[in-house]
Chains A and B, each alone.
Chain A
Amino acid sequence: MPYGYFPGCSLRGTGRAYEESLLPVFRHLGLELTELTDWNCCGATAYMSVDETQACVLAARNLALAEREGHGEVVAPCSACYLVLNKARHYLEEYPAMAERVQGALGRGGMGVRGRVAVRHPLDVLANDVGWEAIRAKVTHPLRGLRVAPYYGCQIVRPYATFDDPHDPVSMDRLFEALGATVVRWPLKTKCCGGSLTGTIPEAGVRLVYHLCREALKRGAQVIATVCPLCQFNLDAYHDDIARRWEDVRIPTVYFTQLMGLAFGLAESELGLHRGFVRMRWRRGEGEIASKSKITSKSKITSKGGSERGEGT
């Protein structure tokens, strides 16, 4: 039974590497994804905060499409899509007034939604439909020696913790263990990446990115793995800016699916690995990774970075 597939705009734009690695990896595991015909904007974060009803209608239209095409489940790889589709489902179920407005809007286009389609994240599918053992069995090139910091971001477990713990998600940790990598325990795995603040108020947004990368390096990570196109972009794209403001904390940030592809022995060139600003270069069997910067114990934070520091007595 194929899953419905909702790529969302990111996977065709800044997050192309995600789709480029996701599709072959899923194929490799025998999972079928059927892209929804005529899908539209998911209505994510920005829209949601401007007009909830319209955002909800946009999301619900995609759910309606999935229903029309007979899908019981739709896979939404982008965290923002995943969240907003889930949120729309939740609104349809919990708020009759909202449901009525949404149905009315869809009705004018000759559509309707019953809200029975389950919205799944690829990580959820891997954890619960495939299982770590089956994934372990597919590993031909274990990522032995690779120290990965799994970065979940905020959206896939909050507020709807449908498949993992909202405070301490572990599904990606289990995945990388299955791939043979060393998982770096770090406390920032669900901390904010800055979201769109990196573009609007860079002083605030980029500082968050800096903290994330710095902490990952400090804990000995060679690569950060993420599930979200926006997180990947933020963590990858601002290193020059960060180096100018604070210190150089360059570390590659890749999608979890790219690491899976490597472990499954898929061709590196087909996994979108060339697209990162900070390149991850993994020499198979040698445990070498290219990463330009190293954090030193002298690293310190300038006063600019300390606004979260308390007035602790």
Chain B
Amino acid sequence: MEPGREEIRIGFYVCHCGHNIAAMVDCEAVARYVGKLPGVVASRDYRYMCSDPGQDLIRRDVGEHGLNRIVVAACSPLLHEQTFRTATERAGLNPFFCHLVNIREHNSWVALRKQDATRKAKALAQAAIHRVRFHRALEVKRVPIRPEVLVVGGGIAGIHVALTLANAGKKVFLVEREATLGGHMAKFDKTFPTLDCSACILTPKMSAVRAHPNITLWSLSEVERVEGFVGNYKVRVRRRPRYILEEACVGCLECVDACVYRTPKFEDAFNEGLGKRKPIYIPFPQATPKVVLIDPATCLNLRTGKCKKTCVEACGDRQAIDFTQTDTYEDIEVGNIVVATGFRTFDARRQPQYGYGTHPNVYTALEIERLVNASGPTGGEIVGRDGKKPRAVGIIHCVGSRDRKTHVWCSRVCCMYSMKLAHLVREHAGAEVYNFYIDIRTPGKGYEEFYNKLLDDGVHFIRGRVGEVTDWAIAPEEEGRLVIRVEDTLAGCTRRIPVDMVVLATGLEPQADAQAVRRLFNMSCGGDGWFLERHPKLAPVNTFADGVFLAGCCQGPKDIPDSVAQAGAAAAEVLSLIDRGYVEQEPNTAYVRDEDCSGCKSCVPLCPYQAIGFDTGRNRAVIQEALCKGCGTCVAACPSGSIVQRLFEDDEVFAEIEGVLAYDA
């Protein structure tokens, strides 16, 4: 429908939004003013335009007055543009003949005087009235969605996403960077507040992933490249060599026993460096896949080639050991991606006043998790690095959290895991436990109850951020121990508390390579580095990249129940897309007018969505509409003006400007 071919008949509706708009904008005056503008056939004000009767108003007027353009002055398009487009469509018009004017967020909520707000509303409305006559009918395209899903990260969140989708009959590729599934949760001894054994609830799920016919599990693997768009992602996964044939290994561990290193010698990452491992090892007894791996950095044969290869001998006929393995690549096509890459803990060395790394008996919480774990380096016995059982233990909360010098956010799990460790330390070592906190935050189900139980049990809670952990003794009972110096803000004095072991409740921070991962999947990060959800309340697992979802701590600190809940939500979002079978694409995309394009390529690197390619044969830029998000960057940048964006074409934009300028009052 070209402008000019038919008579333009505009319907205008201004919404009171209760008092939100009407308190600052004289809506009746706006309706009266706009009603007199050329082309406007109907002009009304109404209390709630988004309500059913409000939308019916539009439908009735289209029928009665033969309207062919609709302008609604109400709230932000983010909130209700779709509502009014749908109402317009139901009235029998192309939905893009409807235009929403924001007189709430951009006007009534920020204005100070009623006459100013009313003037601005009139001017904005007039701009829209000018603009809509140039609107063209746009078509919403549908793109089919592949049912396969990629899940990145095999912690509890990734596991839960994968199992939920696989149980719904979808094919899932689960890519995990480490040698085993499980993530951080596998390292915990107990989970709060119920104190059930972490491994006991996690490892069955790990085995279920391994056994599930719909899940392909790739450990020691990383996503290397992602191309395409929602419904049709092409992904390349790099699989690092394990030097073991996964299919042939039965996890008997005879090769580990046979290794030329008689005793474990190398730092064991799973035990936070508190234990030792051999060059050929399995991260922990319930590792999934239960397949050994060889660390190329410490294996004698891989490093020097001079080794008796007793492991190969021990493996015998199975011949599962293969020193010739190199990186391999898997190319897959998936419709959706769930990113569940998790977190890392704050490096306690960054707070030197707490003495981590200088005083041997200062531990991080994760180290204590391993120490109290029955399969940990001490078999669950709590002893310091000096081999002694502690009589008193201090747990310092908020290390690296809620601090402008490190990370400003609350890491959300530390209060609870500190209390859990307090309980476990008391139970295992019978020690006095002091918690040094700045606020106790126990907002989960049953969490406050746990806190009260600890108070009843006689765990000490001292409010105040610890100044330092020192070995400076000034009293006989402090000699040879660690002294925690703290201002007790409830007692109103400074205190010195001698202890034998200090536990630092380190906070959570984004993975070191979060920025690279963000770019890989075209996501955004908030100012704090966590992956950004599309809307904190209304789209908490979506990202700004369609078909890419978030689950677990990569979006922000979370405990296990929340991670699992969010993982379920991400799986549900994926399922709703897959089962609908197609996605609708916003039609306000950019396109290149070939005859004007000079082939300068300015637009190509600017596109944040990598939607612009270059046809070297024709020397023209090419925009892939399925990827274009209609941000307009290329349109603004194109020096020859050859890139145009639908719904923001020159005549539309100029008419809008004219409309604002024409308002004179």
B471-500 at interface with A (beta carbon < 8 Å): 471-472, 474-476, 488, 491, 493-498
Interface residue total, chain A, C-beta cutoff 8 A: 19
Known: A310-B496, A312-B497. A215 touches B472 (CB 8 A): yes
Q: How far is the CA of A313 from the CA of B351 in the complex (A)?
A: 26
Q: How far is the CA of A188 from the CA of B460 in the complex (A)?
A: 28
Residues of B within 8 A of A288 (CB): none
Known: A165-B352, A167-B352. A311 touches B491 (CB 8 A): yes
The answer to whether B351 touches A167 (Cβ under 8 A) is yes
Nearest CB of chain B from residue A168's CB, rounded to whole Å: 4
The answer to whether A310 touches B495 (Cβ under 8 A) is yes
B-contact bits for A165-191, CB 8 A (1 contact / 0 none): 101100000000000000001111000
Q: Is A301 an interface residue (CB 8 A)?
A: yes
The answer to whether A188 touches B472 (Cβ under 8 A) is yes
Nearest CB of chain B from residue A94's CB, rounded to whole Å: 16
Residues of B within 8 A of A308 (CB): 474, 494, 496
Given B352, B472, B476, B497, which contacts A300 in the complex, CB threshold below 8 Å? B476
Q: How far is the CA of A301 from the CA of B473 in the complex (A)?
A: 11
Q: Is A309 an interface residue (CB 8 A)?
A: yes
Nearest CB of chain B from residue A214's CB, rounded to whole Å: 8
Q: How far is the CA of A107 from the CA of B353 in the complex (A)?
A: 44
Residues of A within 8 A of B496 (CB): 308-310, 312
The answer to whether B472 touches A168 (Cβ under 8 A) is no
Known: A301-B475, A306-B475. A187 touches B470 (CB 8 A): yes
Residues of A within 8 A of B493 (CB): 310-311
Given B353, B471, B474, which contacts A168 in the complex, CB threshold below 8 Å? B353
Q: Is A211 an interface residue (CB 8 A)?
A: yes
Q: How far is the CA of A305 from the CA of B478 in the complex (A)?
A: 15
Interface residue total, chain B, C-beta cutoff 8 A: 20
Q: How far is the CA of A185 from the CA of B472 in the complex (A)?
A: 11
Residues of B within 8 A of A309 (CB): 474-475, 496
Main secondary structure of the interface of A (DSSP, over half): loop
Residues of A within 8 A of B494 (CB): 308, 310
The residue in A185, A308, A310 that gathers the most chain B C-beta atoms within 10 A of its C-beta is A310
Nearest CB of chain B from residue A247's CB, rounded to whole Å: 13
Residue of A nearest to B476 (CB): A300
Nearest CB of chain B from residue A215's CB, rounded to whole Å: 6
Residues of A within 8 A of B460 (CB): 313
Known: A310-B495, A311-B495. A211 touches B352 (CB 8 A): no
Residue of B nearest to A185 (CB): B358
Residue of B nearest to A214 (CB): B474
Nearest CB of chain A from residue B660's CB, rounded to whole Å: 37
The answer to whether A301 touches B352 (Cβ under 8 A) is no
Given A186, A306, A310, which contacts B497 in the complex, CB threshold below 8 Å? A310
Nearest CB of chain B from residue A157's CB, rounded to whole Å: 12
Nearest CB of chain A from residue B391's CB, rounded to whole Å: 13
Nearest CB of chain A from residue B483's CB, rounded to whole Å: 9
The residue in A167, A186, A187, A309 that gathers the most chain B C-beta atoms within 10 A of its C-beta is A187
Q: How far is the CA of A306 from the CA of B353 in the complex (A)?
A: 22
The answer to whether B474 touches A211 (Cβ under 8 A) is yes
Residue of A nearest to B472 (CB): A187
Q: How far is the CA of A308 from the CA of B488 in the complex (A)?
A: 12
B-contact bits for A184-224, CB 8 A (1 contact / 0 none): 01111000000000000000000000010001000000000
A268-313 at interface with B (beta carbon < 8 Å): 300-301, 305-306, 308-313
A-contact bits for B241-278, CB 8 A (1 contact / 0 none): 00000000000000000000000000000000000000
Q: How far is the CA of A300 from the CA of B478 in the complex (A)?
A: 12
Residues of B within 8 A of A300 (CB): 476
The answer to whether B495 touches A301 (Cβ under 8 A) is no
Residue of A nearest to B469 (CB): A187
The residue in B474, B476, B495 that gathers the most chain A C-beta atoms within 10 A of its C-beta is B474
Q: How far is the CA of A197 from the CA of B367 in the complex (A)?
A: 43
Residues of A within 8 A of B476 (CB): 300
Nearest CB of chain A from residue B180's CB, rounded to whole Å: 37
Nearest CB of chain A from residue B448's CB, rounded to whole Å: 24
A-contact bits for B438-477, CB 8 A (1 contact / 0 none): 0000000000000000000000100000001011101110
Residue of B nearest to A300 (CB): B476
> Which 4 pairs across A and B sit closest by C-beta, in order of nearness?
A310-B495, A168-B352, A187-B470, A167-B353
Known: A187-B471, A300-B476, A305-B474. 15 other contacts (CB 8 A): A167-B352, A167-B353, A186-B472, A308-B474, A308-B494, A310-B488, A310-B493, A310-B494, A310-B495, A311-B491, A311-B493, A311-B495, A312-B495, A312-B496, A312-B498
**29 residue pairs A–B, Cβ–Cβ below 8 Å:** A165-B352, A167-B353, A167-B468, A168-B353, A185-B358, A187-B470, A187-B471, A187-B472, A188-B472, A211-B474, A215-B472, A301-B474, A301-B475, A305-B474, A306-B474, A306-B475, A308-B474, A309-B475, A309-B496, A310-B488, A310-B493, A310-B495, A310-B496, A311-B491, A311-B493, A312-B495, A312-B496, A312-B497, A313-B460
Chain B interfacial positions (CB closer than 8 Å to A): 351-353, 358, 460, 468, 470-472, 474-476, 488, 491, 493-498
